[in-house]
Structure 1
């Protein structure tokens, strides 16, 4: 089966995880409303085959569950993602091996890197149809209007490719673009992203910045683009590592960039530094409408290429659950080994979907000295670029199940004295879409030490936690069916007992 979007859609259909919709649907509001309901219920991917005003089908909710994200990564179980993270950790911060096993592991990873080198496709599927100049009409692409207050239609799951004007190293990112005219779009991105650095360098050199947007690519490549990488490493290489072999790239027709050869659509254009337009308002991942931006970079597209009978793959942001939240859960597992290498005392960490998958983190540590929790929180914020926007970090002991909200709340309420254990870092660079901050782009962070305190953190003796007698617990487990309770799970909690649904 080919490793592209079509191959993945075929895989989903064979596994009963795709539904084809033949009824006429409107890309303005209707498709997103249907997809939202599917996301909330953990439903299948959707392929709308009859879209109002367009000749192209629309695929949405393709990675709407962790299960499907795992399949996109060529794996069957989410637990396997940590093994991939271990491989990436070796490359992220390589160290001289001290043991034979470490040398062997490093050798295996380097061999995988050789296999992951991209290949060039001389007759790429993405260029079966080529449209240039005045014939370019982006309005033919069935972009969605997701929310009634959106300023216009948006493209949300395209890979934007740019290149450093000096080093020529490409950057691949996923940004929201808003349609402005038949051949222009604005882009919404954060100042710390690679493409923004490229635009600043192009401005310093008095040059335009070449841009390509690949839409409808292998979902595995999207996951590679969303993975935090060292600045000088290519997302194409990591996509090859994810897939076990190098991906095929194609040289663009009008700009000096390479794109996935099997993309459904490729938009080619340039950004002239200083040329801007008003972007937004648009629904965003925080669950609110993002503000208008009068200085959003304007992309002028001069060429569109696409496959024969292309499929438009899209998604949209908003209050979880959304597709990006499912992707973040999978990335959480990949990040874990990388984070452990950067901050060895961290046993595990969790970014709850309900906290927008990055605004709050719970980390567990093997505490060994006073102040250890605070050090771990500070190290977490600086470990990877995207963690700099995490607003709350809660540090707990290694015995706490960080994915159990009841256990985390118990740790906070039983182990935290707010004056001693809560610390605030003011005036940090922040997500401009976070309306909770007093100033746009500048906010504070909170660390909460919910670990058991040791001297001199406290002078009080900390009594032992309550635990069951192990022999009795084993006896009850063995006799559970004998009690006539075999139809009930041992330890299962009745949500009605607490007055709310805990699932």
Structure 2
């Protein structure tokens, strides 16, 4: 993997998808206001070259469209993401090949794994400049403050790297960090995340937890770190599988951790178990300000960076945001893995408007009574990231789950709420979800919007309306003859009902 952040920015620029802003801009509120408008418009990536109070340019909205996410993954089309998902699914639950073709395919996969192993860089670009001790001043970084009532400046796209103090197994996560002083930040992570588990283990062993924050890495590595699928592989190996070659790693200067050698910045520090400070409130992905929560304090003793670094960032909030676009791409990657876990699921979709995880629409090839309920229950337990999905809507495989008109029709025409809706009360839940009566506990709803079969119903189901196939074929053939060839029916249909199906 020879590419770094600045090389990816050049690629985006070459394809006409980058705007350089040279006038002075403020990292407090102004950059996010500009970026938010671009995200809503599906606009280009932005590079702010003149940020007030900072010496470094800011890149944002780099992965603000699915097209650019595919470029980050070295792909051209979203369909290729499902091919990657199939590869990861084979690694998760490998099965003995039954055919020569399957053996060849599995052999190629093992070769890919061998190529994906991380390498070592002894003269890393990320350590061209080294600052230690009193020279460490995080105020020099162009940290953003996205919303008016945010508690302070934050880091959002940093890779937070820790390791198990007993086994040495590393974890790479993407967590929000809040600036507390020139050399300290709090880190906000859920208790189930790898970094939190490592901190608990460090506390049990009476040790500090070493932490490294890699800023401005190749976006492909960010995608790998944001893929929480249950495969016994490191995030570095994931990134290598994503990119086709291993990530180059470098040893940190003051902590026993490894970071991507081509990072723009690296922050090195430690957490003393039990040392916390209030973190928040901040605008979050739910579309509200989160609460204030005591969070672990990181004390940084070293900052390294390139000679001319670029600061990569993003921000959370109600979709569309970059995190929602990333989730759409991950949805494609998960699809083959989910099919492998729950074989009756033919497709699934996490709408961006539902925060890309709060509601799921799944289609099944229905085979028996109660099949839809079983599929919903299996979905919730299939992968860890579906734990916080509130609503699961199950439809027949004939429904286009990405077309809201078809989904709403299925719900309206196939659901009797007294029979087809079931609720699981007080299950473990997202602490950021204010809709729950008890923080950390919430209900889940399953909706069976499939065609009912006995004994689910006592009466015969109506026959669906369909065009006469011969007449439809005739009209297709004569469409130009009617003088209607210039009309794109799909676009007219979508605009008529206010939907964008692309």
TM-score normalized with structure 1 length: 0.98
Change (3 A) 1:381 1:496: closer
C-alpha displacement at 1:272, in angstroms?
1.1
Residue matched to 2:240: 240
- Aligned pairs (5 A) from 1:114-193: 114-193=114-193
Query: What is the distance in 1 between the residues matched to 2:231 and 2:15?
Result: 38
Residue matched to 2:375: 376
Tell whether the 8 Å contact from 1:81 to 1:330 is kept in structure 2 after alignment.
yes
Residue matched to 1:250: 250
Residue matched to 2:445: 446
C-alpha displacement at 1:96, in angstroms?
2.4
Query: What is the distance in 1 between the residues matched to 2:496 and 2:330?
Result: 34
Partner secondary structure for residue 374 of structure 2? helix
Residue matched to 1:395: 394
Residue matched to 1:45: 45
Residue matched to 2:310: 311
Q: Is residue 265 from structure 1 mapped to residue 265 from structure 2 by the alignment?
A: yes
Residue matched to 2:334: 335
Cα deviation, 1:110-156, whole Å, max 9, x if unaligned, reads: 11000100000000000001111121111110000000000000100
TM-score normalized with structure 2 length: 0.98
- Aligned pairs (5 A) from 1:413-424: 413-424=412-423
C-alpha displacement at 1:173, in angstroms?
0.7
Change (3 A) 1:46 1:491: closer
Structure 2 segments unaligned to the other structure (5+ residues): none
- Aligned pairs (5 A) from 1:403-418: 403-418=402-417
Q: Is residue 386 from structure 1 mapped to residue 385 from structure 2 by the alignment?
A: yes
Query: What is the distance in 1 between the residues matched to 2:499 and 2:410?
Result: 21
Residue matched to 1:35: 35
Cα deviation, 1:259-291, whole Å, max 9, x if unaligned, reads: 000000001111111110000000000000011
Query: What is the distance in 2 between the residues matched to 1:384 and 1:501?
Result: 30
C-alpha displacement at 1:464, in angstroms?
1.8
Number of paired residues? 501
Query: What is the distance in 1 between the residues matched to 2:2 and 2:53?
Result: 30
Partner secondary structure for residue 267 of structure 1? strand
C-alpha displacement at 1:98, in angstroms?
2.8
Cα deviation, 1:417-472, whole Å, max 9, x if unaligned, reads: 11111111111111111100001111011111111111111111112211111111
Residue matched to 2:214: 214
Which sits farther off after the overlay, 88-97 or 141-150? Answer: 88-97
C-alpha displacement at 1:494, in angstroms?
4.6
Tell whether the 8 Å contact from 2:266 to 2:305 is kept in structure 1 after alignment.
yes
Tell whether the 8 Å contact from 1:169 to 1:232 is kept in structure 2 after alignment.
no
Query: What is the distance in 2 between the residues matched to 1:491 and 1:307?
Result: 49
- Runs (4 or more) in structure 1 with deviation over 6 Å come to none
C-alpha displacement at 1:305, in angstroms?
0.5
Which sits farther off after the overlay, 54-63 or 88-97? Answer: 88-97
C-alpha displacement at 1:493, in angstroms?
4.2
- Aligned pairs (5 A) from 1:295-310: 295-310=294-309
Query: What is the distance in 1 between the residues matched to 2:42 and 2:500?
Result: 17
Residue matched to 1:486: 485
Cα deviation, 1:184-205, whole Å, max 9, x if unaligned, reads: 1111111211111111111111
Change (3 A) 1:117 1:167: same
Partner secondary structure for residue 310 of structure 1? coil
Change (3 A) 1:496 1:353: closer
Partner secondary structure for residue 387 of structure 2? helix
Partner secondary structure for residue 152 of structure 1? coil
Query: What is the distance in 2 between the residues matched to 1:482 and 1:35?
Result: 47
Query: What is the distance in 1 between the residues matched to 2:215 and 2:260?
Result: 9
Cα deviation, 1:54-88, whole Å, max 9, x if unaligned, reads: 00000000100000000000001111111111101
C-alpha displacement at 1:490, in angstroms?
3.4
